């Protein structure tokens, strides 16, 4: 004789600890290139207009390294697939706002400028200079610019 025992299974993300985020308007009008390796993102523009885009992975056989981008106006939405480098920029003449939806409470985030130019200890400047075909002065300028933001996501 078999006895079936029902046991609860939790297959969802934990309850949200943060369900909203207020932007710091003093930091300018660009969300730098970044990735969410654990979530797809939907950006719904509620006011203004934004230039939003993502770049397909280099191993995507149908569109390697292809940029998918455009101006998204109030009332429109843009979907960003999981794991792809993406960005947002206000090219308009008025403030813009969005409601962003991610299909995971823990989407993971890696801001590429912070990852590369504000790492502690620093990524070898010679490697970065060769990778981006720039000189040490340009790298120093980037490191100085991004270092104040290094603790934003801690």
Q: Detail the residues annotated as belonging to a binding site for Mn(2+).
A: 34, 36, 41, 86
Q: Are 35 and 83 in contact (CB under 8 A)?
A: yes
Cα Rg for the chain, rounded, in angstroms?
Answer: 19
Which residues are bridge partners to 102 per DSSP?
41
∠ CA 61-113-90 to the nearest 5 degrees? Answer: 85
How many angstroms separate the Cα of 33 from the Cα of each of 15, 39, 40, 152?
28, 15, 15, 15
Residue numbers in the known binding site are: 34, 36, 41, 86
CB 16 within 8 A of CB 105: yes
Residues within the annotated binding site for oxalate? 36, 41
Backbone dihedral region for residue 97 (phi beyond 0: left; psi -120 to 50: alpha; all else: beta): beta
């Amino acid at each position: 004789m078999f006895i079936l025992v029902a046991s609860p299974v939790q297959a969802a993300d934990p309850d949200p600890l943060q369900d909203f985020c207020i932007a710091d308007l003093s930091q300018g009008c660009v969300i730098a290139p970044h990735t969410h390796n654990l979530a797809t993102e939907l950006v719904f523009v509620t006011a203004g207009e934004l230039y939003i885009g993502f770049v397909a992975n280099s191993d995507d056989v149908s569109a390697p390294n292809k940029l998918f981008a455009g101006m998204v106006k109030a009332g429109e939405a843009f979907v960003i697939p999981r794991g792809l480098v993406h960005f947002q920029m206000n090219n308009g003449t008025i403030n813009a706002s969005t409601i962003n939806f991610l299909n995971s409470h823990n989407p993971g985030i890696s801001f590429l400028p912070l990852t590369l130019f504000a790492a502690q200890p620093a990524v070898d400047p010679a490697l970065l200079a060769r990778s981006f075909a720039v000189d040490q002065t340009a790298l120093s300028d980037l490191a100085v610019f991004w270092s104040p933001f290094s603790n934003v996501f801690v």
